[in-house]
Amino acid sequence: MVVVMAPEATESDIEEIVDLVNAAGGEAFVSRGVSRTIIGLVGDVEQFGALNLRSYPGVSDVVRISVPYKLVSREHHPNRSVITVGGVPIGPGHLTVIAGPCTVETAEQTLAAARMAQTAGASVLRGGAFKPRTSPYAFQGLGEAGLRILADVRAETGLPVVTEVIDPASVDLVSSYADMLQVGTRSMQNFALLQAVGSANKPVLLKRGMNATIEEWLMAAEYIAQRGNLDIVLCERGIRTFETATRNTLDISAVPVAQRLSHLPVIIDPSHSGGRRDLVLPLSRAAVAVGADGIIVDVHPHPAAAMCDGDQALTGEDIRDLAEMAATLPQLLGRTLTPAPRPVTGAAKLPTGLDASLV
């Protein structure tokens, strides 16, 4: 059951509902949106019905929701949501390109990749400071030093930053630098982490687990929403199947299915889906055609020297082709490319050998 508070509801009105629910032996989880507050109720639905919550000040509606992912479902929020990250909208009507290096290696490499991302039409910068890897011997990221580099590049380029957080203890640290928190595929069912990012007051990019069903993905989003954060973007990044020709299998049908079931924006990661540079542009086109609200793409100034996932990072002509696609294909489907939030200022010192025409 969900209690929808009116836009003019006061904090006292909200507290009164929470107190009533707690006194009835239930739990109330408050989610504050831009225009109104939603209170999710957990407990005996029949007992909640006896409280006659609709009669209390500030209550707009009380809704019974049949699906288990109540706060992120279309049942309680029929219209699809637009999430804003550092002034950049992600949601229906737009195609938002998020791009950058898979991992932050140096300040020069990250700045060069950010300039390349802008050339590709990106309005949000991605980059990993903490990298959970299958092998304990693989590069694990620069940690806080990487976060500082991302913050410096944001100041230089104007691009808001999304970066991964891998455990609850790191949420406050990453939140102090990032504009959006990413929960990766390996962490999708780390429920303590989901609850922590739900309490962090930052938008969240939630990647689908490599073995997760769509319902499990939406239930993971519900953990975040239940802690009061409805600013969630879902990311389909490919699932693990029997196929070995690609790194993962892109579940393109997950986009319309998730959009039908949930009001949250849905984007696609064509880089980690295919795992190969030559597949990124075709999968990006498919993402736009199927109605994805955005794409998240790896770029790197020197992919052959990348410390992580160089085989899938775009460079050179690939970036120009992506930029052309992002500028033209969405218009054919009645959407627009999301512009960067503010103009680029300052000059970048390019790493040796970087093609200056890309920045």
pLDDT in tens, 98-155: 999 999 999 999 999 999 999 999 999 999 998 776 677 677 778 999 999 999 999 9
pLDDT in tens, 189-219: 999 999 999 999 899 999 999 999 999 999 9
Q: Output the pLDDT for position 34.
A: 58
Return the higher-pLDDT residue of 7 and 212.
212
Would you place residue 41 in the very low, low, confident or very high pLDDT band (cuts 50, 70, 90)?
confident
Model confidence at 44: pLDDT above 50:
yes
Residue 346 has a pLDDT of 44
What pTM did the predictor assign? 0.87
Contact yes or no for 236/267 (Cβ under 8 A): yes
- In this predicted structure, the answer to whether residue 349 has a pLDDT above a threshold of 50 is no
Question: Three-state SS string across the chain, please?
Answer: CEEEECCCCCHHHHHHHHHHHHHCCCEEEEEECCCCEEEEEECCHHHHHHCCHHHCCCEEEEECCCCCCCCCECCCCCCCCCEEECCEEECCCEEEEEEECCCCCCHHHHHHHHHHHHHCCCCEEECCCCCCCCCCCCCCCCCHHHHHHHHHHHHHHCCCEEEECCCHHHHHHHHCCCCEEEECHHHCCCHHHHHHHHCCCCCEEEECCCCCCHHHHHHHHHHHHHCCCCCEEEEECCECCCCCCCCCECCCCHHHHHHHHECCCEEECHHHHHCCHHHHHHHHHHHHHHCCCEEEEEECCCHHHCCCCHHHCECCHHHHHHHHHHHHHHHHCCCEECCCCCCCCCCCCCCCCCCHHHC
* Average of per-residue pLDDT across 160-182: 96
Same topology between domain 2-63 and domain 83-337: no
Tokens 């892109």, residue located: 250
- pLDDT at residue number 284: 97
> Exposed (0-12), middle (13-18) or buried (19+): which is 210, by Cβ within 10 Å?
middle
* Average per-residue pLDDT for the chain: 90
Nearest to residue 266, comparing CAs of 244, 243, 295, 240?
295
Spans of all domains in the chain: 2-63, 83-337
* 71-97 pLDDT per residue, tens: 899 987 889 999 999 999 999 999 999
pLDDT for res 66: 79
The phi and psi torsions of 39 (rounded to 5 degrees) equal -120, 115
How far apart CA 239 and CA 211 sit, in angstroms, is 6
- Output 306 or 150, whichever has higher pLDDT: 150
For the ranges 79-83, 176-180, 345-349, which has the lowest average pLDDT? Answer: 345-349
Distance from C-alpha of 301 to C-alpha of 265, rounded to nearest angstrom:
30
Q: Report whether pLDDT(221) > 90.
A: yes
Q: Is the pLDDT assigned to residue 290 strictly greater than 60?
A: yes
- pLDDT of 282 > 80? The answer is yes
- Quick check: 162 pLDDT over 60? yes
Which residue in 91, 95, 100, 105 sits closest to 118, CA to CA?
Answer: 100
**pLDDT for the residue numbered 343:** 47
What's the rounded mean pLDDT across residues 239-248? 95
| Options 3.40.190.10, 3.30.70.1140, 3.40.630.190, 3.30.300.210; CATH of 2-63 | 3.30.70.1140
* Percent share of the chain, pLDDT over 70: 93
What pLDDT score does 264 carry? 97
Please give the pLDDT value at position 77.
Answer: 85
> Which pLDDT belongs to residue 127?
95
**Cβ contact 299:100 at 8 Å:** yes
Q: How many other CB atoms are there within 10 angstroms of residue 280's CB atom?
A: 26
Q: Output the six-digit token pair for 37.
A: 């507050």
Mean pLDDT of 31-41: 76
Report whether pLDDT(64) > 80. yes
Please report the pLDDT score of residue 350 as a whole number.
34
**Four-way CATH pick for 83-337: 3.10.310.30, 1.20.1080.10, 3.40.50.40, 3.20.20.70:** 3.20.20.70
